[in-house]
């Protein structure tokens, strides 16, 4: 595929944007931080502009604009369910602001059903905090450990389910890790989970943008009970997320947020909730976000999601191959069965410094840190209990972490070459970079900071 040409870069807003460097030059930005959020598609922006002419409040009136907005909002619900293969008769979709809110809502719902003394929630060690902390708030949680590479073992999961003897009610797993990119076999996991009478909850934030999702599976045993994902990771960053789940579970739960739209009828002495999903969508609905999300999906499917995924896989493979040839770099993920991201550590240079160098020197945006998956990164880095205690008790000491490169179909081979070329230069001139950036830390605002201020978009 080397040299293969496509115009996909032109689909995404901002790919040609010029950014300042520490030397005062301006370069075309290279964005390798798509796992955090994605820029909108040009077609999404155009769709929103045209839809704004008929934008109105949803479910609030019989005016023409209100009826059109309501139709867009409700048809979007069906469109998104079909996107992940959810049977509209068995499942429903609740609109939220993002994946985090979706999982908090679901944890709240299960919190009403669980016996805190007896019931158990299993959470994989590779979870984003959004699919871990909410469950800690509502019940008894046990962790399904990952192996040395950071992969989840179905055998270990089944062993834990057997050990608890029917006490496990919920199993929470990620569809694809936001740290290593590893994907989990959802059908196989669902089959095991259902065998022991539990339900499966999937954080699909990283999976949905890159991989085909089929909540129904190949058999009834392989169905996914709940799936949460977000528009802002799918080229429609306008504050919209979704929780798709079984109607029989969601229907009887009380709402997490209450206010306008959640109740059929209220008096000072009585309260009748609306039916699901409306009882869980308090306030004015985000129809602009729904419009953007469904348009993004339409465009991606029109271009060909399989072809886009092939290109991302090719770029990831090229990057991993190059990174393996650089002395002092240790990779985490980026292997078979991964979405298009990989994390790494560079020996002798802190992850924040690596990220700063890439950005300040050549306009290359990556992510550094623990990526809101602290226990997983702690496991990958092999930190001991003494290490953990040290960081917890010394707030002045920066936390350890990794550098993450997350790839989109709008990236190019030239982007990969720029990143690799600079990383090689950093390794060859490590001492010089360390000296430069340790000194710069004291007057960053007067150097690169001033360049950023001069380039401000807002007044």
* Same structural domain, 333 and 226: no
Three-class DSSP category at 285: coil
* Gap between the Cα atoms of 257 and 234, Å rounded: 26
What pLDDT, in 10s, does the model give residues 411-448?
999 999 999 999 999 999 999 999 999 888 655 545 55
What pLDDT, in 10s, does the model give residues 82-127?
999 999 999 999 999 999 999 999 999 999 999 999 999 999 999 9
Establish if 269 belongs to a structural domain.
Answer: yes
Supply the CATH number for residue 115's domain: 3.40.640.10
- Distance of CA 98 to CAs 9, 116, 204, 254, Å? 26, 27, 11, 20
Distance in angstroms between the alpha carbons of the first and the last residue of the chain = 44
Establish if 400 belongs to a structural domain.
Answer: yes
Q: Final residue of a domain: which of 266, 281, 300?
A: 300
- Distance of CA 103 to CAs 43, 107, 115, 305, Å? 29, 6, 19, 26
Alpha helices in 324-412 (DSSP H): 351-362, 374-381, 385-393
* Same structural domain, 337 and 430: yes
pLDDT score for 144 = 98
- Report the pLDDT averaged over residues 7-25: 93
Establish if 40 belongs to a structural domain.
Answer: no
At residue 1 the predicted structure's pLDDT band, cuts being 50, 70 and 90, is very low
* Same structural domain, 148 and 117: yes
The alpha carbon of residue 419 and the mean position of all alpha carbons in its chain are separated, in whole angstroms, by 23
At residue 450 the predicted structure's pLDDT band, cuts being 50, 70 and 90, is low
Establish if 37 belongs to a structural domain.
Answer: no
Contacts of 364 (CB under 8 A, 6+ apart): 30, 32, 358, 418, 419, 422
Query: Which position has the token pair 């999937």?
Result: 202
| Residues spanned by the domain of 311 | 8-31+304-454
* Gap between the Cα atoms of 112 and 134, Å rounded: 13
* Helix 287-303 / helix 64-83 crossing angle, nearest 10 deg: 50
- Distance of CA 389 to CAs 293, 345, 352, 385, Å? 43, 22, 21, 6
* Same structural domain, 358 and 268: no
**Closest alpha carbon to 137 in 113, 97, 96, 104:** 104
Contacts of 141 (CB under 8 A, 6+ apart): 120, 121, 122, 123, 132, 135
* Same structural domain, 27 and 113: no
pLDDT score for 4 = 54
Token digits of residue 95 = 């609109």
Residue pair 263/279 in contact by the 8 Å Cβ criterion: yes
* Gap between the Cα atoms of 163 and 196, Å rounded: 11
* Gap between the Cα atoms of 115 and 409, Å rounded: 45
* Same structural domain, 261 and 410: no
Contacts of 166 (CB under 8 A, 6+ apart): 196, 197
Residue pair 58/291 in contact by the 8 Å Cβ criterion: no
What pLDDT, in 10s, does the model give residues 338-369?
999 999 999 999 999 999 999 999 999 999 99
* Gap between the Cα atoms of 29 and 34, Å rounded: 13
pLDDT reading at 3 higher than 50: no
What's the mean pLDDT when you consider all of the chain? 94
Establish if 134 belongs to a structural domain.
Answer: yes
Q: Tell me how long the chain is.
A: 459
Residue 281: CA count within 13 A, CB half-sphere: 24
Strand pairing of 140-144 and 120-124? Answer: parallel
Q: Final residue of a domain: which of 281, 300, 319?
A: 300
* Same structural domain, 151 and 187: yes
**Closest alpha carbon to 365 in 13, 32, 17, 9:** 32
* Same structural domain, 224 and 327: no
At residue 2 the predicted structure's pLDDT band, cuts being 50, 70 and 90, is very low
Q: How many domains does the chain have?
A: 2
* Gap between the Cα atoms of 299 and 296, Å rounded: 5
Residue pair 203/130 in contact by the 8 Å Cβ criterion: yes
pLDDT score for 281 = 97
Establish if 26 belongs to a structural domain.
Answer: yes
What pLDDT, in 10s, does the model give residues 279-325?
999 999 999 999 999 999 999 999 999 999 999 999 999 999 999 99
- Distance of CA 241 to CAs 97, 208, 365, 378, Å? 5, 12, 25, 28
Alpha helices in 203-254 (DSSP H): 247-250
* Same structural domain, 268 and 326: no
At residue 336 the predicted structure's pLDDT band, cuts being 50, 70 and 90, is confident
Single pTM value for the model: 0.95
* Same structural domain, 319 and 226: no
Q: Final residue of a domain: which of 300, 315, 348?
A: 300
* Gap between the Cα atoms of 302 and 289, Å rounded: 20
* Same structural domain, 385 and 280: no
Q: What is the DSSP letter of 66?
A: H
What pLDDT, in 10s, does the model give residues 191-235?
999 999 999 999 999 999 999 999 999 999 999 999 999 999 999
Establish if 3 belongs to a structural domain.
Answer: no
Establish if 319 belongs to a structural domain.
Answer: yes
pLDDT reading at 454 higher than 60: no
Q: What is the DSSP letter of 97?
A: S
* Same structural domain, 271 and 344: no
Minimum mean pLDDT among 44-48, 152-156, 262-266, 333-337: which range? 333-337
Angle CA(67)–CA(48)–CA(98) in degrees, nearest 5? Answer: 90
Supply the CATH number for residue 343's domain: 3.90.1150.10
């Amino acid at each position: 595929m080397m040299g293969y040409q496509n115009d996909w870069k032109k689909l995404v807003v901002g790919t040609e944007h010029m950014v300042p460097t520490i030397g005062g030059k301006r370069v075309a930005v290279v964005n390798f931080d798509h796992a955090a959020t994605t820029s909108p598609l040009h077609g999404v922006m155009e769709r929103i502009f045209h839809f704004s002419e008929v934008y109105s409040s949803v479910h609030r009136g019989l005016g023409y604009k209100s009826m059109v907005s309501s139709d867009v909002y409700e048809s979007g619900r069906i469109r998104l369910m079909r996107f992940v293969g959810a049977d509209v008769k068995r499942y429903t979709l609740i609109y939220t602001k993002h994946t985090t809110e979706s999982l908090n809502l679901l944890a709240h719902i299960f919190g009403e059903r669980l016996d805190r003394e007896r019931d158990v929630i299993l959470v994989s060690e590779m979870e984003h905090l959004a699919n871990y902390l909410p469950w800690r708030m509502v019940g008894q949680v046990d962790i399904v450990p990952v192996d040395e590479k950071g992969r989840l073992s179905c055998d270990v999961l089944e062993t834990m389910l057997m050990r608890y003897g029917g006490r496990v009610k919920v199993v929470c797993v990620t569809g694809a890790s936001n740290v290593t990119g590893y994907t989990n076999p959802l059908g196989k996991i669902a089959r095991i989970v259902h065998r022991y009478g539990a339900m499966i909850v999937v954080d699909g934030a990283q999976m949905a943008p890159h991989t085909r999702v089929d909540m129904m599976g190949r058999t009834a045993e392989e169905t996914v009970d709940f799936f949460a994902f977000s528009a802002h990771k799918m080229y429609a960053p306008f504050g919209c997320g979704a929780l798709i789940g079984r109607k029989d579970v969601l229907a009887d739960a009380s709402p997490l947020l209450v206010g306008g739209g959640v109740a059929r009828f209220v008096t000072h002495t009585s309260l009748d909730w609306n039916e699901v999903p409306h009882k869980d969508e308090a306030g004015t609905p985000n129809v602009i976000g729904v419009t953007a999300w469904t348009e993004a999906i339409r465009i991606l499917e029109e271009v060909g999601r399989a072809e886009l995924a092939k290109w991302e896989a090719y770029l990831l493979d090229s990057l991993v191959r190059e990174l393996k040839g650089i002395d002092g770099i240790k990779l985490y993920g980026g292997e078979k069965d991964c979405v298009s991201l990989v994390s790494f550590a560079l020996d002798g240079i802190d992850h924040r410094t690596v990220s700063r160098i890439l950005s300040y020197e050549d306009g290359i945006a990556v992510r550094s840190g623990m990526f809101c998956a602290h226990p997983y990164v702690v496991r990958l880095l092999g930190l001991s209990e003494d290490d953990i205690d040290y960081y917890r008790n010394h707030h002045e000491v920066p936390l350890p972490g990794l550098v993450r490169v997350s790839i989109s179909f709008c990236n190019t081979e030239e982007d990969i070459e720029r990143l690799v070329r600079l990383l090689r230069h950093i390794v060859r001139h490590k001492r010089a970079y360390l000296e430069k950036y340790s000194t710069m830390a004291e007057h960053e605002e007067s150097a690169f900071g001033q360049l950023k201020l001069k380039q401000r978009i807002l007044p």
